[in-house]
Amino acid sequence: MNAAIVSVVKVAAMAGVNVVGVEDGYEGLINGALRPLVEPDPRTGVLAPIPDLTGVGGQGGTMLGTARCPRFRDPTYRALAVQWLRAASVEGLVVIGGNGSMAGAHALWSEHGLPTVGIPASIDNDIGHTREALGVDTALNTIVDACDRISDTARSHRRAFVVEVMGRDCGYLALAGGVATRADAVLLPEKNPELHQVLKKLETIVRHRLSDHREKKKVLILKAEGVKIPTQTLVDDLSTAVSDMEDVEVRATVLGHIVRGGDPTFRDRLLASRFALVAVQSILAGESGIMVCWSVSDYGKATSDAFVRLFSLDSVLRETKALTEGTSDLQNERIHRLDAIHGVLAF
């Protein structure tokens, strides 16, 4: 998010547009917590990013802060937020975030006519129409690094590891991470597996991969947090199923919020810059109620960037709902591609 904030500020400043930041997301917007992000150069008078932004683009997290805001679901508080923006002469809002953030942006546009442009940021990659959201590549690099380290231990000690990664409704991180780490199996919330459905298959994998005549001495299973089977339950039951195998152990690792942190990768920094450029260009051109998307299709509205297209927030929210419900064509395509990779079982 920091990379996107800095990029938005730089592009806007170069266009001579003043920029203020909202601290702590919609909670801060309700409270009128606005701060300037550009200032005039004392020698030339040309707008430039404030010194606090120096180096921030390469850091993880968000220097403006973020917060869940149940109050923003109330139209009264949304109206209060708009009052603060108008009092500060804000003529357009760039919203960086996930599904809740895009729903808020849509409400500000539809209810009050406030020009809004969204930039998708969600490590779960669960936002409609965009092939990739900010944070996904950084999270995947963290997962791959962790799984490679875990695999070193697994090979040394002849172990099977169940690694839980984030992904409440969308299993993209587990899916893509499973391909990149050459995992033996992946458990996805979209498939909503039951314990009895996967236990026998996982037992077969462990027995085959860790048999005495096999050279391979480790098993790696990735599981999205949204899978209803508790990770420790899966590990305990699988351990019991293979208890007759000498010196074979099944262990669990929950990566949790480690996946959410860290400095952004090159790809995330590049994506943030390209999203920000189109977002600022769009809002200055009078576009509103839209989100910038990384898309290789002909759908959506073309922009100055061949890979960034505009979709209405209304359409984005519908497609996001399909993603979380498992009815999205895009997510089904991803799962079918995983199924086609030899040696990776998707449950």
CA angle 121, 338, 203 (to 5 degrees): 115
* Residue 184 CB contacts under 8 Å (≥ 6 apart), including other chains: 205, 209, 219, 220, 221, 343, 344, 345
Of 121, 112, 20, 104, give the one whose Cα is nearest residue 68.
104
Residues 6+ apart with CB under 8 A from 183: 147, 177, 220, 221, 222, 344
Q: What is the 3-state secondary structure (H, E, C) of 5-74?
A: HHHHHHHHHHCCCCCEEECCHHHHHHHCCEEECEEECCCCCCEEECHHHCCHHHCCCCCCCCCCCHHHHC
Let me know if 99 is exposed, middle or buried by CB neighbors in 10 A (0-12, 13-18, 19+). buried
Question: Which residue among the candidates 24, 52, 74, 124 is catalytic per the annotation?
Answer: 124
Q: For residue 304, how many other CB atoms are within 10 A of its CB? A: 10
124 belongs to the catalytic site:
yes
- Close Cβ partners of 333 (under 8 Å, ≥ 6 residues apart): none
Active centre residues (catalytic): 124
